[in-house]
């Protein structure tokens, strides 16, 4: 190393990342399910939720079940064609979208913007359809990546869809190895 010192710990290579994007007005501060702010989970707080509902300039947005496949197609096609993103799992639910993607050279905020813009542009809703921000969960080992993929696939199966309903969903490279 020629005398050079490393600063801080070395981060393990990310095998996958699960992204969650919620629709406008569907998971506010104080939500009865709990809510997250800057990675901290908070308990329900009805007063905060009521205040946020009063401040909303548009009604709550949710995807219709009949549109889920098409919305997923728009998002997946944009990510694969524009950013060359490997998508390991995806589900479109009425109030949120989960994606599990492979390693990417793009910032996650850029990946999320591409996904959100694809749906927003195609729907031409004329109003906000997405909440600000997104959640991210990093998978540094095969077990956590497999668990996140299975979690997303269960959402699809629970709605009567195939676990992998879109043709752009690919097997992760570690799928060819046995789980430990």
Residue 3 lies in a domain: no
Domain CATH number, residue 52: 3.30.70
* Residues 6 or more apart whose Cβ sits within 8 Å of residue 93: 63, 68, 155, 159
Residue 148 lies in a domain: yes
Residue 109 lies in a domain: yes
Mean pLDDT by 10 residues, the chain (180 residues): 41 86 90 82 90 91 95 98 97 97 96 98 93 93 96 97 98 75
Residue 10 lies in a domain: no
What pLDDT, on a 0 to 100 scale, did the predictor assign at position 32? 87
Half-sphere exposure of 16 (CA within 13 A, CB side): 28
Domain, as residue range, for 69 = 16-175
Residue 6 lies in a domain: no
Name beta bridge partners: 96. Answer: 22
pLDDT, tens only, 35-84: 877 778 889 999 988 998 899 899 999 999 999 999 999 999 999 999 99
Residue 1 lies in a domain: no
Number of structural domains in the chain: 1
Residue 2 lies in a domain: no
Residue 8 lies in a domain: no
Sign of torsion, CA 105 134 38 128?
A: positive
Q: What is the pTM of this model?
A: 0.86
């Amino acid at each position: 190393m020629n005398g050079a010192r490393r600063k801080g710990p070395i981060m393990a290579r990310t095998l996958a990342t699960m992204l969650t994007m919620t629709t406008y007005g569907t998971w506010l501060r104080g939500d009865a399910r709990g809510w997250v702010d800057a990675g901290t989970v908070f308990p329900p707080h009805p007063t905060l939720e009521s205040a946020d509902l009063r401040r909303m300039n548009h009604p709550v947005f949710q995807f219709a079940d009949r549109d889920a496949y098409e919305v997923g197609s728009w998002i997946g096609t944009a990510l694969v064609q524009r950013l060359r993103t490997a998508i390991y799992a995806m589900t479109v639910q009425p109030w949120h979208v989960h994606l599990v993607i492979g390693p990417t050279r793009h910032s996650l905020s850029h990946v999320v913007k591409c996904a959100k813009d694809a749906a927003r542009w195609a729907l031409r809703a004329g109003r906000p359809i997405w909440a600000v921000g997104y959640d991210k969960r990093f998978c540094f080992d095969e077990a956590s990546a497999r668990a996140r993929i299975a979690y997303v696939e269960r959402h699809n199966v629970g709605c009567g869809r195939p676990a992998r309903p879109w043709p752009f969903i690919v097997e992760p490279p570690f799928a060819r190895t046995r789980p430990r």
